Structure 1
Amino acid sequence: MKLQTIVVALAATLASGAGIAADYKPVTDARLANPEPENWLLTKGNYAGWSYTALNQITTANVAKLRPVWSAATGVNSGHEAPAIVNGEYMFVATPHNHVFAYNAKTGKPLWHFQREVPEGIGALHRTNRGVALWNDKVYVGSVDCMLSALDAKTGKLLWDAQVCDWETESAYITSAPLVVKGKVLIGPSGGEFGVRGFLKAFDAETGKLAWTRYSVPAPGEPGSETWPQEGEWKDAWKNGGGTMWMPGNYDVKNDVIYWGVGNGAPWLGDQRPGDNLYLASVLSLNPANGNIVGHFQYHWNDSWDWAGMNAPTLVDFDRGGKKVSGLISAQRNGRLYWLDRDAKGKISYKKSEPYVTNTVFTSIDPKTGRPTYNEDAKPATGKTRTYCPSLWGGKDWPYEAYNPQTGMLYIPYNDNHCLTLTGMIQERIPGQWSAGVDINRLDLSVKEGFDHIGGIQAWDINTGKEVWREKYPHSWNWGSILTTAGGVLFAGGTNDKMFRAYDAKTGKLLWEFPTPSGIISPPSSFSIDGKQYIAVVSGYGVDAQWIQGKMHTLAGWDEKVPEGGSVWVFALGD
């Protein structure tokens, strides 16, 4: 018997009779397609990626009465980046180092705990996890050692494992939350800095059998392969070209089309893989039945800045001349906010884009295609030392933006006024070792002289294309996803002062804040039980946020570290 199975069986036995939740309601395709507001069944709340709840008990008028109902320590350090997923009275939280915890969502009492051992010698840059997925009576979670596991939702018992990648030979690892679409579990690995060729895999949700694989970098002869070197020194660059698909995608239920983001190039230096390099730094639209590509848009060609396009754009309808137009909107790492159109078949076309932070690389944008032209002095290259802004963490890193259909606004957790200087080099690809073409110990982060802030939140009207309000954080980056509500409230963490905050979604006015034991870099979520609305968030600083905090200590005198240690927090209105 596997060790992790023993751990789960014991935990489930101990939990019996000690706060066990009510009967578990199976999560069907119909429920995922139209999730009820009282639950939080998907990482971003719905398939469209809105990070929005239709619950409205908590409003701008009463949010100041929000109080903690319960909290629970995970006992795990490092960056906690997974939201609390809720179905009825069951809450599921994934953490770094291959843990999944189940709690009674109303009381916080533990139900079960699953742990998969992390193998010795694994070279993953991050051992974090961005969440679980639900379907039928199962909980699905990826692990840093490249496995997809299906657990019994009531007990945590391991039902099956499926191998997604090979961490020993491919150097890939998993940090992404899975996405379940029509009985298939979709997940892709991280590992671009190790020279992994990106892909997405779909597994049968009932059996774990592999259904299909879609590579993001085309092999010779496949559509898009002509954008990679065909001969000469770099002709095999596609084999280890990057484009890992390390964040969950979104899904157009009506038209049965998946939208998935594609990461950065490998190595980072574009002159070692000349060409546009499809489909790096792109969004792909896919047929969920077979993984076939039906459309794409590339945010920038020949990616040389680690500006991964890993977050799928949010699915929205634009009001254009009194007509509803199906579209996509996305604040990308390269510092531009993109408006894209999509048709019923999944074809994607460029409409426009606007800068939301400073970009020193793009000199112009083609108004018809969205293709940028570059300042070559700001493009990293082999044997060259170059500086560019924003730095590799971009105008927005992996945290989720949020869309509120009532305000018509997109809310962006952003970072500005930061740049990076690096020197390009040729690095041999050795499995499990850094091979991005730059010295990982010589990533020279800098901030603009006289900067007044780094992090903040921006609110944009998706129809007018104008910024409506902005909150600036003078002494912090923003590493937190956003939740917006039908009650007109916006919830966000992300700052180094450990605060969880509520804002007026229309004006940006700060309405409430609460200090947690550590920094918050996980997405907030909302649910209701017995007619009472709750807000949940997981606190736990680490990974890039902690690394940057150390850099800012040197650059700006900020506190050197933020306390680590994970804990789940659930809030509701007081009397």
Structure 2
Amino acid sequence: MKRLLSLTALGLAFAPFLAGAAGDYKPVTAQRLANPEPENWLMTKGNYQGWSYSALDQITTANVKKLKPVWSAATGMTSGHEAPAIVNGDMMFVSTPRNQVLAFNAKTGRLLWRYKRELPEGFGALHVTNRGVALAGDKVYVASLDCMITALDAKTGAKVWESEVCDWQKDSAYITSAPLVVKNVVIVGPSGGEFGVRGFLKAFDLETGKEVWTRYAVPAPGEPGSETWPQEGRWKDAWKNGGGTMWMPGNYDAKNDVLYWGVGNGAPWLGDQRPGDNLYLASVLALNPDTGEIKGHHQYHWNDSWDWAGMNAPTLVEFERNGKKVPGLISAQRNGYIYWLDRKPDGKIDFNKALRYVKQNVFTSIDPKTGRPTYDEAGKPGTGKTATYCPSLWGGKDWPFEAYSPKTGMLYIPFNDNHCMTLTGKIQERIPGQWSAGVEITELNLKVDKNAPFVGGIQAWSVDGAKENWRETYAASWNFGSVMVTAGNVLFAGGTNDRMFRAYDARNGKLLWEFPTPSGIISPPSSYFIDGKQYVAVVSGWGVDAAWIQGKMHDSHGWEKQVPEGGSVWVFALED
């Protein structure tokens, strides 16, 4: 019996459940990933640039009101479902909380196989979610909460190989991120900043699972950037557990072979326990995908003290400037500002401008040349110091994906506003597996303005004009959902506590269609095309931070106490 339990902990005792053989499966090559066909959705954000954009245009602003559900399927899991449906040909892959991957026939919804990796005894994490799988060749790659990355046979779900990314018992790390495949490696990083994890990425060979490289976000003494961490005194070892976890997938410039990855918050949260700028916290890194070498960076704010993680990689676009196209990066960051950055072929990143898009009371100015902010110290919490800052730690935009349409030239941002946080810092001993953010988890004092006309919403910004073109707001809901935009000028979005999946006119924000799902939607939508028909897919399943905040809003604002949980996949198409 003891031997059987150990096999279960390793995920070896669970063969996939086969409900029918998959059809012909077209291998996912590096060329296909660099230039994905519109009929498939091969990665979490649709393409390497991070656009969350579908070039399909059968569904338009004129006919989207005729969308009907084609099929749906329960995942069998509760908690927050944050992974998109990934589609290659007739096969759809959906990962769920608690280490499960499901494969469906994308046209009919028939379950093809199910893979489940059991969590080891004693495992614990703040979030048990998963944000998606990656495809390459004839394999599906998924990272597990207990710090493993596994390659599955795409047709059968059988395990091909698995490798350890981190030691969850020793490091207190866990993985919620979708991996990213670039050329011959699959790349992923763990979560765990609140447990004092020093963030990193690891790359593994696609065929063998052998580790190829590791890149830490916080430099060790003597490495470039280490001078921005304490060199002596009480906090000289702060770098060892300094945070900077890289818990969201990156984006990739295939033309110039540059990988862009976001870096999370500092650990502990209080910057006075790690004096200095603290590179590369709250930054975007430009990396060599073959070696992990840092080629460039931009730090959004120095000495992070607010849990304003920069974990979302910026979207790769081109700016129109003085009649020329300039390669750029654009990102709505958690700290409440949208950043326009210039990206160079060699990976260097230059600051262009930053504009505030939600209420923010910490930055008093931003250097127009470097992008370095100055702070109102009254809004910066510290050890034994109480401060109220806006936006709260969930930021102007948390992890959900923004979207970019090359047709409208707009960036679409799922945002939250009119919320603040009051924190008082303390010194907490770091004990593996225990919260050590420098503030009690029971003392996260969220404050939402009761007189504000809204909290959540969607903003549409002109990338070249650098102005807001339209916005949709929600008077009685936060927005915890990613958005997707299509060539039919339709913007699809969930994210609200009323369980609705919605379609808007991407040009002006007019609501065109909505459909209630059994639970709230916090996963990214996706779109694909089979046998002459365009489909739109989304996974419904409320939980994690959205559920926690819903309870807080019940206490403070009288909102509905709970949103029903339970995961299900929903697929829509136009009526024949």
- CA distances 1:100-136 after superposition (whole Å, capped 9, x unpaired): 0000000000000000011122231101000000000
Native 8 Å contact 2:381 2:387 kept in 1? yes
Taking the aligned partners of 2:416 and 2:253, their CA distance within structure 1 comes to: 29
**Counterpart in the other structure of 1:166:** 167
**Counterpart in the other structure of 2:40:** 39
Native 8 Å contact 1:416 1:455 kept in 2? yes
**Counterpart in the other structure of 2:551:** 550
**Counterpart in the other structure of 2:275:** 274
Taking the aligned partners of 1:370 and 1:34, their CA distance within structure 2 comes to: 33
2:15 to 3, 8, 32: 8
- CA distances 1:512-538 after superposition (whole Å, capped 9, x unpaired): 000000000000000000110000000
5+ unaligned residues in a row in structure 2: which ranges?
A: none
- CA distances 1:129-170 after superposition (whole Å, capped 9, x unpaired): 000000000000001100000000000001111000010010
- CA distances 1:30-52 after superposition (whole Å, capped 9, x unpaired): 00000000000010000000000
**Counterpart in the other structure of 1:236:** 237
Taking the aligned partners of 1:103 and 1:554, their CA distance within structure 2 comes to: 40
Taking the aligned partners of 2:22 and 2:549, their CA distance within structure 1 comes to: 40
Taking the aligned partners of 1:122 and 1:356, their CA distance within structure 2 comes to: 39
Native 8 Å contact 2:22 2:156 kept in 1? no
Taking the aligned partners of 1:509 and 1:33, their CA distance within structure 2 comes to: 33
**Counterpart in the other structure of 1:531:** 532
Q: Secondary structure at the match of 2:168?
A: coil
Residue pairs, 1:422-433, within 5 angstroms: 422-433=423-434
Q: Secondary structure at the match of 2:554?
A: helix
Native 8 Å contact 2:238 2:274 kept in 1? yes
Q: What amino acid does structure 2 have at the position aligned with 1:77?
A: T
- CA distances 1:67-103 after superposition (whole Å, capped 9, x unpaired): 0000000010000000000000110000000000000
**Counterpart in the other structure of 1:62:** 63
**Counterpart in the other structure of 2:132:** 131
Taking the aligned partners of 1:121 and 1:394, their CA distance within structure 2 comes to: 32
Q: Tell me by how many angstroms 1:5 deviates.
A: 4.4
Taking structure 2 as the reference length, what is the TM-score of the superposition?
A: 0.98
Q: What amino acid does structure 1 have at the position aligned with 2:286?
A: S
Native 8 Å contact 2:89 2:530 kept in 1? yes
Taking the aligned partners of 2:79 and 2:374, their CA distance within structure 1 comes to: 39
Q: Secondary structure at the match of 1:168?
A: helix
Native 8 Å contact 1:67 1:571 kept in 2? yes
Residue pairs, 1:64-213, within 5 angstroms: 64-213=65-214
- CA distances 1:311-368 after superposition (whole Å, capped 9, x unpaired): 0000000111210000000000000000000010110000001000011111111111
Residue pairs, 1:224-373, within 5 angstroms: 224-373=225-374
**Counterpart in the other structure of 2:393:** 392
- CA distances 1:360-419 after superposition (whole Å, capped 9, x unpaired): 111111111111111111101000111100000000000000000000000000000000
Q: Tell me by how many angstroms 1:7 deviates.
A: 3.1
Q: What amino acid does structure 2 have at the position aligned with 1:358?
A: K
- CA distances 1:222-265 after superposition (whole Å, capped 9, x unpaired): 00000000000000000000000000000000000000000000
Q: Secondary structure at the match of 2:252?
A: strand
- CA distances 1:534-567 after superposition (whole Å, capped 9, x unpaired): 0000000000000000000011110011000000
Q: What amino acid does structure 1 have at the position aligned with 2:568?
A: S
Q: What amino acid does structure 2 have at the position aligned with 1:311?
A: N
Q: Tell me by how many angstroms 1:449 deviates.
A: 4.1
Q: Tell me by how many angstroms 1:296 deviates.
A: 0.1
Q: Secondary structure at the match of 1:8?
A: coil
Q: Secondary structure at the match of 1:169?
A: helix
Taking the aligned partners of 2:353 and 2:253, their CA distance within structure 1 comes to: 21
Q: What amino acid does structure 2 have at the position aligned with 1:532?
A: K
Q: Secondary structure at the match of 2:171?
A: coil
Give the stretch that moved more between structures: 362-371 or 246-255: 362-371
Native 8 Å contact 1:311 1:398 kept in 2? yes
**Counterpart in the other structure of 1:501:** 502
Q: Secondary structure at the match of 1:562?
A: coil
**Counterpart in the other structure of 2:29:** 28
Q: Is 2:441 the partner of 1:468? A: no
Q: What amino acid does structure 2 have at the position aligned with 1:220?
A: P
Q: What amino acid does structure 1 have at the position aligned with 2:76?
A: G
Taking structure 1 as the reference length, what is the TM-score of the superposition?
A: 0.98
Identity of aligned residues (%): 75
**Counterpart in the other structure of 2:380:** 379
**Counterpart in the other structure of 1:221:** 222
Q: Tell me by how many angstroms 1:21 deviates.
A: 3.4
- CA distances 1:269-317 after superposition (whole Å, capped 9, x unpaired): 0000000000000000000110000000000000000000000000000
Native 8 Å contact 1:241 1:265 kept in 2? yes
Q: Tell me by how many angstroms 1:6 deviates.
A: 4.4
Q: Secondary structure at the match of 2:358?
A: coil
Taking the aligned partners of 2:367 and 2:532, their CA distance within structure 1 comes to: 51
Q: Tell me by how many angstroms 1:450 deviates.
A: 0.8
5+ unaligned residues in a row in structure 1: which ranges?
A: none
Q: CA RMSD in A?
A: 0.8
Q: Is 2:565 the partner of 1:564? A: yes
Q: What amino acid does structure 2 have at the position aligned with 1:399?
A: P
Taking the aligned partners of 2:74 and 2:410, their CA distance within structure 1 comes to: 34
**Counterpart in the other structure of 1:417:** 418
Where do 4+ consecutive residues of structure 1 move more than 6 Å? none
Q: Tell me by how many angstroms 1:448 deviates.
A: 1.9
- CA distances 1:396-452 after superposition (whole Å, capped 9, x unpaired): 000000000000000000000000111100000000000000000011101124111
Q: What amino acid does structure 1 have at the position aligned with 2:203?
A: A
**Counterpart in the other structure of 2:479:** 478
Structure 1 residues 200 and 47 mapped into 2: Cα distance closer, same or farther (>3 Å)? same
Q: What amino acid does structure 1 have at the position aligned with 2:549?
A: I
Q: What amino acid does structure 2 have at the position aligned with 1:302?
A: N
Q: What amino acid does structure 2 have at the position aligned with 1:538?
A: V
Q: Secondary structure at the match of 2:37?
A: coil
Q: What amino acid does structure 2 have at the position aligned with 1:166?
A: D
Taking the aligned partners of 2:377 and 2:483, their CA distance within structure 1 comes to: 35
- CA distances 1:169-207 after superposition (whole Å, capped 9, x unpaired): 100000000000001000000000000000000000100
- CA distances 1:4-61 after superposition (whole Å, capped 9, x unpaired): 444334x12xx13xxx432111000000000000000010000000000000000000
Native 8 Å contact 1:123 1:433 kept in 2? no
Q: Tell me by how many angstroms 1:500 deviates.
A: 0.1
Native 8 Å contact 2:450 2:557 kept in 1? no
